[in-house]
Structure 1
Amino acid sequence: MGDHVLDQNDIIRDVDNDIAYVVKLVFLVSLYPMVGVFGVGTNIVNVLVFCQHGIDDTVNVTLAALAMADIGSLFAIIFLGLCYNPLFFNLDVSFHSSEAAYLLAGMPRLCFSRIINLIVAFVTLEQCLCVRFPLRVKTMITPRRAVTVLVSIFTSMIASISPIYFSTNLAWKTYRNRGNKSLLGLDFSNNRREIDQWTFALGSVFGWFSFLLVFVCSIDLIFSLRRYQHFRKTSTTQSSNTSTRRDARVGKMVVVLSLVFIVSFIPLNAIQMCKSTIPRFNKGSDIPNIYHITWSVAYLVEAINSSINIFVYFIMSSKFKQTTMNLFARRWPLTGRSCQ
């Protein structure tokens, strides 16, 4: 018997079309819009609450920016689900909806994902330093400097994803399975593979940098908070002032936020690594079903993460909880009852 050398085609085989279709219906058509609409609503509440708390605090500024990035990513998720909906797919529109979704929803979603990663890394680093050096950090990280950092994150991540739009664009194509109709669909340049590999490799670097920074700062925050709790229990003086106690409470909330981020981080950035290292794992390759299913799962995990931050804030911040309740009480007052 001769030796058979396994190549990439032997190891990676595409998923059956029927299975892929069911997964798309469940994830993209059903779950994406539900999670997306819910998440947009919760993050609008987040923005309103943090704006009411005031922009003179760096934490409020950063978490409001995080909520805005979450809103952007969730709108992309909603549009992605719409494009893959069979009802929309069969409408008489001038573009191939599932192909156009790659540029109009998929890439914006990826861009906002990178922004979210770096904002979480920034707020985790900020709180780590606040707990360790409370007085020094207050003068170093001011609200204005925080805004500068956040604007830089948004602009740099938008720039990092822009090469995709030079290698992949929309062009008129004839589709035989659509009755030889001419529709706008994906068109790839000759150097598309190289551009995509570099772009997604850069995104993977940003992602893993954010992950490592969040991971290290979260561990340091946990130990710093434990030392603070031990100091409060053993100290006989009232030396811990209100500002220090507040930093400790915010630090705990950021730790939980970071842990949720770490869990949701893994799928998307693993996919970005695959895109930069496995040439077959790309849009328009010979394993399209695996490609779409993995992205579908990763996007859903991140959409859930973008939607549940409000519960972390509500449970761990009494000020956020009170402001939220007051906000809804003013909007929908209870007749016959007074809101205490």
Structure 2
Amino acid sequence: MYVQSIEGDNTTPYPALDQMTDNPFHLAEDHSKNSVMLTLASGILSDEQFYIISLFMIYVSQIINMCAIIANSLSIAVFVKLGFSEPSNISLTALAVCDLTLGVLSTWSNLCFWLTYHDVRLPFDSANVSYLTGGIQWPFLSSTIAWITAFISFERCLCILVPLKVRRLITPRGTFAGMLIIILLTFCPSFFTFIRYKFVWVFNPYLNVTILSTIPVNSELAILFEKISFTICGVIQPLLAFSILLICTVLLVVQLRKISSWRMSVTSAKSQRVQPEQNPGASSSAAEARISQKEERLVRMVVAIATIFIVSYIPNCIMLLCFVVFDEFAMFGAYRRISVVSSYITSLGQPISGSINIIIYYKMASKFRSVFRRLVRLDRQEQA
């Protein structure tokens, strides 16, 4: 879908998405207030630079998304075979399902933008339709993943802090209910954005055909509802989940160090043949820090998952804050090109995190490793 050059009648081989006159979002904007900012922004990235960078990031993102889709599909298959008698299997499966959904949505959005860049003639406006069917759900799903990861970390904190009561506090049924509540409060509100936008058939003068596209509903109530839902579910909720996850991860690391110190002291005491009655301090610390080695391995696995998620999610948090603080940094604002390129870069973090999780499961969970090897027939290959 090529556009006319501003200075002449020649067309540019690079689709300047921010200059498309058939873009309904573009038509709804008022550029009279930010014409200077648009001029400055257009000088930061030319059409050619924007095209090359965006296309390169699309290819990179697609490769990572495919890895995430394959990895999380295998993880879900393994957890299904393991069963859901353990609460941790339920929450980890929910995390894998959300990571898989994120990979699918990202793949769909990248495909639509690729079609737009290459001027593929389709019966729908790929850029606008993908925004409403994939791009707009992305921050909400990121919030869901953040809350599920925070829930998993909080669950492990309870296992360490109150090991004798955790069986009554964390049950498979309660964990399943918790996953449903998280999804309902974080991801499902994304569908309310259809109050703000709707699908319509519009005439495309470049193709000389009527195609499916989207237009915004410019009522004050719809605009207010969109801002409130995005601010709460797309910004406040993920940042709050990120804070809870960070606190729980720090607590888990501190408790793991205490457990390691306690185990070393117990080993030293046994080597010196000291009876527990002769060392009441050791018994007291044992009562506070004692968890099974199986639980300790699970805690270490959760710490690894949470740490990778925190590192990968920090750029996304910065982007969310930029969207809230700087209006011109929005998807269709004056600095839309910088916003698009930045979004491509920051959006790579979570698919990478979702792809790495299966490696952590394989390395740190013996049951997962055993079922995974049987699933992909590795054991039979070694025996052969």
Pick the TM interval, shorter chain: 0.7 to 0.9
Choose which of 189, 193, 197 in structure 1 pairs with 2:217: 189
Residues 1:278 and 2:306 are matched in the alignment: no
SS in 1 for 2:258: helix
CA RMSD in angstroms, aligned pairs only:
2.7
SS in 1 for 2:327: coil
| Number of corresponding residues | 329
CA–CA distance in 2 between the matches of 1:175 and 1:288? 23
CA–CA distance in 2 between the matches of 1:281 and 1:77? 21
SS in 2 for 1:187: strand
Instruction: Identify unmatched segments of 5+ residues in structure 1.
Output: 1-5
The corresponding residue for 1:234 is: 265
The corresponding residue for 2:149 is: 120
SS in 1 for 2:85: coil
The corresponding residue for 1:39 is: 68
CA–CA distance in 2 between the matches of 1:180 and 1:279? 34
Matching of residues 166-205 of structure 1 within 5 Å: 166-176=195-205, 178-190=206-218, 191=220, 193-202=223-232, 203-205=234-236
CA–CA distance in 2 between the matches of 1:163 and 1:8? 34
Choose which of 177, 185, 190 in structure 2 pairs with 1:148: 177
CA–CA distance in 2 between the matches of 1:296 and 1:87? 16
CA–CA distance in 1 between the matches of 2:113 and 2:341? 13
SS in 1 for 2:141: helix
Asked if 2 retains the 8 angstrom alpha-carbon contact of 1:198 and 1:276, the reply is: no
The corresponding residue for 2:10 is: none
Query: Deviation at 1:301?
Result: 1.8
Asked if 1 retains the 8 angstrom alpha-carbon contact of 2:328 and 2:336, the reply is: no
CA–CA distance in 2 between the matches of 1:129 and 1:61? 17
Asked if 1 retains the 8 angstrom alpha-carbon contact of 2:186 and 2:237, the reply is: no
Asked if 2 retains the 8 angstrom alpha-carbon contact of 1:62 and 1:146, the reply is: yes
The corresponding residue for 2:249 is: 218
Choose which of 336, 339, 346 in structure 2 pairs with 1:288: 336
Asked if 2 retains the 8 angstrom alpha-carbon contact of 1:208 and 1:269, the reply is: yes
The corresponding residue for 2:5 is: none
Query: Deviation at 1:82?
Result: 1.1
CA–CA distance in 2 between the matches of 1:242 and 1:46? 30
Query: Deviation at 1:89?
Result: 5.3
Query: Deviation at 1:116?
Result: 0.6
Check 1:139–1:8 CA distance in 2 against 1; reply closer, same or farther (3 A cut): farther
The corresponding residue for 1:21 is: 51
Instruction: Pick the structure with greater CA Rg.
Output: 2
Asked if 1 retains the 8 angstrom alpha-carbon contact of 2:312 and 2:353, the reply is: yes
Query: Deviation at 1:113?
Result: 1.4
Asked if 2 retains the 8 angstrom alpha-carbon contact of 1:170 and 1:184, the reply is: yes
Asked if 2 retains the 8 angstrom alpha-carbon contact of 1:200 and 1:272, the reply is: no
Asked if 2 retains the 8 angstrom alpha-carbon contact of 1:197 and 1:277, the reply is: no
Residues 1:262 and 2:262 are matched in the alignment: no
Query: Deviation at 1:88?
Result: 8.5
Query: Deviation at 1:275?
Result: 2.5
**Cα-to-partner distance string for 1:104-158 (whole Å, 9 max, x where unaligned):** 1112333321111110000000001111211111111101000000011112223
**Cα-to-partner distance string for 1:282-304 (whole Å, 9 max, x where unaligned):** 23333321221122112222211
Matching of residues 56-135 of structure 1 within 5 Å: 56-86=85-115, 90-135=119-164
**Cα-to-partner distance string for 1:221-247 (whole Å, 9 max, x where unaligned):** 001011111111101369799962211
Check 1:143–1:8 CA distance in 2 against 1; reply closer, same or farther (3 A cut): farther
Asked if 2 retains the 8 angstrom alpha-carbon contact of 1:196 and 1:276, the reply is: no
Check 1:301–1:285 CA distance in 2 against 1; reply closer, same or farther (3 A cut): same
CA–CA distance in 2 between the matches of 1:295 and 1:163? 23
Query: Deviation at 1:39?
Result: 1.2
Equivalent residue letter for 2:162: F
The corresponding residue for 1:3 is: none
Query: Deviation at 1:274?
Result: 2.5
Which is worse superposed, 112-121 or 92-101?
92-101
Asked if 2 retains the 8 angstrom alpha-carbon contact of 1:173 and 1:185, the reply is: yes
Residues 1:328 and 2:376 are matched in the alignment: yes
Choose which of 190, 203, 208 in structure 2 pairs with 1:161: 190
Query: Deviation at 1:87?
Result: 7.8
Which is worse superposed, 49-58 or 230-239?
230-239
**Cα-to-partner distance string for 1:287-335 (whole Å, 9 max, x where unaligned):** 32122112211222221112211111112223322221122127x942x
**TM-score under structure 1 length normalisation:** 0.88
CA–CA distance in 1 between the matches of 2:158 and 2:295? 10
**Cα-to-partner distance string for 1:229-273 (whole Å, 9 max, x where unaligned):** 111110136979996221111111111111111111122232222
CA–CA distance in 2 between the matches of 1:232 and 1:268? 39
Asked if 1 retains the 8 angstrom alpha-carbon contact of 2:68 and 2:100, the reply is: yes
Asked if 2 retains the 8 angstrom alpha-carbon contact of 1:82 and 1:88, the reply is: no
SS in 1 for 2:123: coil
